[in-house]
Amino acid sequence: MRFSASFSVLFAFVSYAAAQSAEWGQCGGIGWTGATTCVSGTVCTELNSYYSQCLPGTATTAPSGGSSTTSAASAPSSTATVGLAVAAKAAGKTYFGSATDNPELTDTAYVTILNQTSEFMQLTPGNSMKWDATEPEQGVFDFSGGDQVVNLAKANGQLVRGHNCVWYNQLPSWVSGGSFTAAELTSIVQTHCSTIVSHWAGDIYSWDVINEPFNDDGTWRSDVFYNTLGTDYVPLALQAARAADPNAKLYINDYNIEGSGAKATAMLNLIKSLQSQGVPIDGVGFQCHFIVGELPSTLQTNIEAFTALGIELAITELDIRMTLPATDALLEQQKQDYQTVIGACNAVEGCIGVTIWDYTDKYSWVPSTFSGQGAACPWDENFVRKPAYDGIVAGFQS
């Protein structure tokens, strides 16, 4: 009796819940078995063949973003039938993931896709674990932004890459403008790394302990760390991170090391030197902020050169930008380029995962950083999958 009563309550709830989707809820798409009608004041709008969503408006009124939705329908789009993380897993990779940032997490349509583990098995906070966010004043720590991303990832069952402990950029002025003795800065670096790494200990798959240590010619970047401590800041930070979370994989991350050349050689030599000194180093991050049609031709051989050192390698910040406006030809080349990058990772066992530097053009860092450029991500600004999406899937299937 008791069972059947609760069962009918449950049944009533389920059938009610399945009747209509809420505003911003999913209302259709391949594989979708839930409600296909929307609550009043919203209209079920096909964003792509996998995802229809209840957007504000009525059937006779264009939904918000309606004009671009219309134009997107005629633009080349994606037809792949498998999620990006599903494709990565099938290829034997540990994850496929995306960067995200705290302000974006109020955008329900954005979060709905970010939460899909068929697409993303891993998140990287784009800003909220950086030094200016986590220790804005000496000894005053703020974990709130990082916690929000970590808690979202935990709720979804997604891995997290910590980004980052030591970087010349986005430093609070008390660090960048300080004039410290070597002993003082040693203690500051140790305290910072050990405090943030231990705060998230157990929740982080890998940490970018050191970010962007080199100039493009392979010389050391001149910053407060190098200028005060020489190269010693690198082992210092790695050892502090290891002590704070023995299970996190410790990485050094950089750009323009993806193809062979002076900067890649400097990074290879740094890793060899750390290994010979017994300093903990588990991985190298290739950022991969690329330009359509301009990939380094030595990407795969260079991935092989790094993984031959016995470390793992991750593609940590992939995006492939173009000069705007996006044309069909550029979008097609972008698809090929995404496929080439993913294919290079796919071909080398030690390349363990790929993170895109946000999944949608709506929140890409590119337009505000590289004037006149954009459209770098696999989803457009209206959350419609681009041909680039299919390039990623094809890369994992190559």
- What's the CA gap between 159 and 377, in Å, rounded? 21
Question: CA-CA distance, 252 to 238, in Å (whole number)?
Answer: 9
Nearest-10 crossing angle of helices 299-307, 262-276: 10
Nearer to ligand XIL among residue 213 and residue 391 (C-beta): 213
DSSP E strands, the chain = 26-28, 42-48, 51-56, 95-100, 122-125, 159-166, 206-211, 249-254, 283-286, 289-291, 312-323, 351-356, 373-374
Measured from the CB of residue 106, what is the shortest distance to ligand XIL in angstroms?
Answer: 16
CA-closest candidate to residue 93, choices 208, 248, 205, 253: 205
Nearest-Å Rg of the Cα atoms of the chain is: 23
Least Å distance between CB 25 and ligand XIL? 29
* Complex with ligand XIL: residue 83 or 125, whichever CB lies closer: 125
Footprint of ligand XIL (CB under 6 A): 126-127, 211, 287, 317, 365
Q: Which is nearer to ligand XIL, 199 or 321 (CB)?
A: 321
Distance in angstroms (rounded) separating the CA atoms of residues 111 and 156: 11
**Catalytic residue at 135?**
no
From the list 230, 248, 228, the residue with the least C-alpha distance to 238 is 248
- Chain residue at closest Cβ approach to ligand XIL: 365
From the list 119, 258, 312, 317, the catalytic residue is: 317
Q: Tell the smallest beta-carbon distance from residue 322 to ligand XIL (Å).
A: 17
Q: How far apart are CA 17 and CA 7, in angstroms?
A: 15
Q: By C-beta, is 52 or 364 nearer to ligand XIL?
A: 364
Smallest gap from Cβ 281 to ligand XIL, in A, equals 18
Pairing of strands 373-374, 312-323: antiparallel
In this complex, which beta carbon is closest to ligand XIL, that of residue 51 or of residue 205? Answer: 205
Residue 107 tokens read as: 């955008």
Task: Establish whether 317 is a catalytic residue.
Answer: yes
Residues identified as active-site: 212, 317
